[in-house]
Amino acid sequence: MTYLEKLDQLQLHNPGSPLGAVVYFVVFMLAAWAVNRGLRFTVQRAVQRDKFGVFDKTATPFLLQLMRIAIFIVFLVIYAHLVPSLRSLGTALLAGVSVASVVIGLAAQNTLGNLVAGIAILIYRPFQVGDRVQVTAPTGVETGIVDSLTLGYTILVTGDNRRVVVPNALIANQVTLNLTSGDPRLVVSMPIDVSYEADVELARAELQSIAESHALVQEVIGCPVTTLGPSSITLTLECWCADASDTSQVQNDVFEQAVKRFRDLSIEIPFPYTNVVLHRTDPQQSLMETRDER
């Protein structure tokens, strides 16, 4: 018996035989993997070479992941159609498909919810990759740049290079501040306290001068008195910045310059204090009042 005859007896080419079904499964999975790799490589190269903005940076990765999953599903369906035992099994399971769908839906409701929310984000576009957004997370309010939108999660990169992973269903159901959509400019408000004895006009002029000389400030709006506190007057310097990412730098620089200028001009930045007044009572008078009460 020749080698080819032995292989023919094993029936590796027949999907109805056990070994044939295994061989077909391996071949189909390798084919699906190869198609996925080729698709991913082609799309990534096309996006890198895209000079005219043809590819949407938000939708392309999301749709690519959907297509890769769809490719595996298509290959598995074709494989199941070729194997006779799987065809008969699929026919038998049709009677319980409604029950199976309910069970799967309950088990994967969070995953499916994130997928549907991701599709909704792509359709309505409250933000896109590269936008600076502000969301509420368990750690508090987080501000970051949208790095990617996946099938289940939205990835934000904060200013200190942390990755905030937000489920799509959560970010779709909460109020999200888009700080760069449309007009990227942002007003930064900087409250600064001075004492009641300070020259308010001089302090206002110095703060406006500091802001006007800053390279990242586009326009100074004003510096009104906004609060009369127990021990201080609050001046709030307001100015336009070209981008939301510049506000922290502007605020830090203005505060530092204000401390130096105010120190040179003897303008006090007060700290909270409390006056405690003790009223002394005449002991003899207290004793007489006590006797009168008796």
Mean pLDDT for the stretch of residues 108-125: 84
Which residue would you say has higher pLDDT here, 203 or 86?
Answer: 203
Let me know whether 27 and 99 are in one domain.
Answer: yes
| Confidence check: pLDDT of 24 > 80 | yes
pLDDT at residue 202 in the model: 94
> 10 lies in a domain?
yes
Let me know whether 199 and 169 are in one domain.
Answer: no
Let me know whether 25 and 91 are in one domain.
Answer: yes
Check: CB of residue 221 under 8 Å from CB of residue 187.
yes
Let me know whether 12 and 88 are in one domain.
Answer: yes
> 280 lies in a domain?
no
Question: What is the distance between the alpha carbons of residues 262 and 220, in angstroms, rounded to a whole number?
Answer: 19
Q: Buried (b) or exposed (e) across 89-117, using 16+ Cβ within 10 A?
A: eeeeeeeeeeeeeeeeeeeeeeeebbbeb
Q: What is the pLDDT of residues 131-166, one digit of tens each?
A: 888 998 888 888 889 999 998 899 999 888 899 999
- The pTM score is 0.61
Let me know whether 37 and 98 are in one domain.
Answer: yes
| Confidence check: pLDDT of 8 > 70 | no
Q: Domain span at residue 145? A: 126-178
> 42 lies in a domain?
yes
> 121 lies in a domain?
no
Q: What is the pLDDT of residues 183-242, one digit of tens each?
A: 778 889 999 999 999 999 999 999 999 999 999 999 999 999 999 988 899 999 999 998
Which residue would you say has higher pLDDT here, 173 or 95?
Answer: 173
Tokens of 141: 């309010």
Let me know whether 163 and 224 are in one domain.
Answer: no
- Range ranked top by mean pLDDT from 43-52, 68-77, 152-161, 232-241: 232-241
Of 107, 140, 157, which closes a domain?
A: 107
Q: Which residues on neighbouring strands pair with residue 235, listed in sequence order?
A: 192, 225
Of 158, 178, 198, which closes a domain?
A: 178
> 66 lies in a domain?
yes
Domain of 172, CATH number, reads 2.30.30.60
pLDDT at residue 294 in the model: 47
Reported as a pLDDT band with limits 50, 70 and 90, residue 264 is very high
Report the range of poorest mean pLDDT among 96-100, 104-108, 120-124: 96-100
Domain count, the chain: 3
> 257 lies in a domain?
yes
Let me know whether 243 and 259 are in one domain.
Answer: yes
Tally the C-alpha atoms within 13 A of residue 168's C-alpha that lie toward its C-beta.
Answer: 25
Domain of 205, CATH number, reads 3.30.70.100
pLDDT at residue 155 in the model: 93
Let me know whether 137 and 101 are in one domain.
Answer: no
Cα 53 to chain centroid distance, Å, stands at 23
| Confidence check: pLDDT of 107 > 60 | no
> 114 lies in a domain?
no
Amino acid (1-letter code) at residue 137: A
| Confidence check: pLDDT of 12 > 90 | no
Check: CB of residue 163 under 8 Å from CB of residue 199.
no
| Confidence check: pLDDT of 254 > 80 | yes
- Please state, for a pLDDT cut of 90, what percent of the chain lies above it: 31
